[in-house]
Amino acid sequence: MAVITDWCCLEFKYRIRLPFCQIIIPADTCGYRDQIKMEELDPSRVSEAVVGDCESLEKKKAAIRNAGPAKFQVIADFDATLTQYWINGLRGQSSHGLLQQGNPEYDVKRHELFEYYHPLEFSPTIPIEEKAKLMEEWWEKTHSLLIEGGLTYDAIEKSVANARIAFREGVIELFELLEERGVPVLIFLAGLADIIEEVCFLCGVMLVLLDLSVDIPCNLFVNCE
């Protein structure tokens, strides 16, 4: 994602604020700091990312440029990657966390699962293989509750309308740019694609999703009413 963001910033001057860092890398970043003292730098040209291997980064940038947009694809997570982590000083909601079934009993049950599994997801002591099984277990239990307790499109629409969720600065412009250049987008998430589409609709990017080659490998709500 860093390389993708860097490529967009270099060629099209969009700034995408990602979790844990802001990646804004001018073309000459790696050598720029060696030539001029930090206090003399133009703030707009200073990278806010820490690059561990400048040579490798330059090679990747060159490969992307040489291949061109026809060989380029954007692969992105959704929650807290395309969306804001903090909104007005409060933790932004995830695509799963914002969902309210309209059935208080099952909303409580899903929240209890969150309270149990969420700390395990970020535990530094659990091996990745074990953690993957726990996350799959969480996913299966949560979706079983959605089926058992019932879910409607109205509930999805109301949940998103009342949610604390928003795209990061520059994401909408990025989608528009990718649409213009014909670059496909792949968004990964464990939640419902219906929620993502509703978020996009409320943020004014539904037309982009209809026209752009966007693929969302995730779960899809099927109305059986």
- Annotated catalytic residue, options 77, 107, 211, 215: 77
Distance CA 32, CA 34 (A): 5
Please return the burial class of 34, using the count of CB atoms within 10 Å of its CB with bins 0-12, 13-18 and 19+.
exposed
Helix (H) or strand (E) holding 19: none
Kindly provide the residue ranges of all beta strands, DSSP E only, lying in the chain, ordered along the sequence: 16-18, 21-23, 74-77, 86-87, 90-91, 185-188, 214-215
Do residues 95 and 192 make contact, with C-beta atoms less than 8 angstroms apart?
yes
Do residues 2 and 64 make contact, with C-beta atoms less than 8 angstroms apart?
no
Task: Give catalytic status of residue 77 as yes or no.
Answer: yes
Backbone phi, then psi, for 126, in 5-degree steps? -90, 125
Nearest to 27 by CA among 41, 1, 7, 44: 7
- Annotated catalytic residue, options 79, 154, 194, 215: 79
Instruction: For residue 75, give Cα distances in angstroms to 4, 8, 113, 212, 214.
Output: 9, 13, 28, 14, 10
Nearest to 142 by CA among 98, 111, 121: 111
Task: Give catalytic status of residue 53 as yes or no.
Answer: no
The residues carrying an active-site annotation are 77, 79
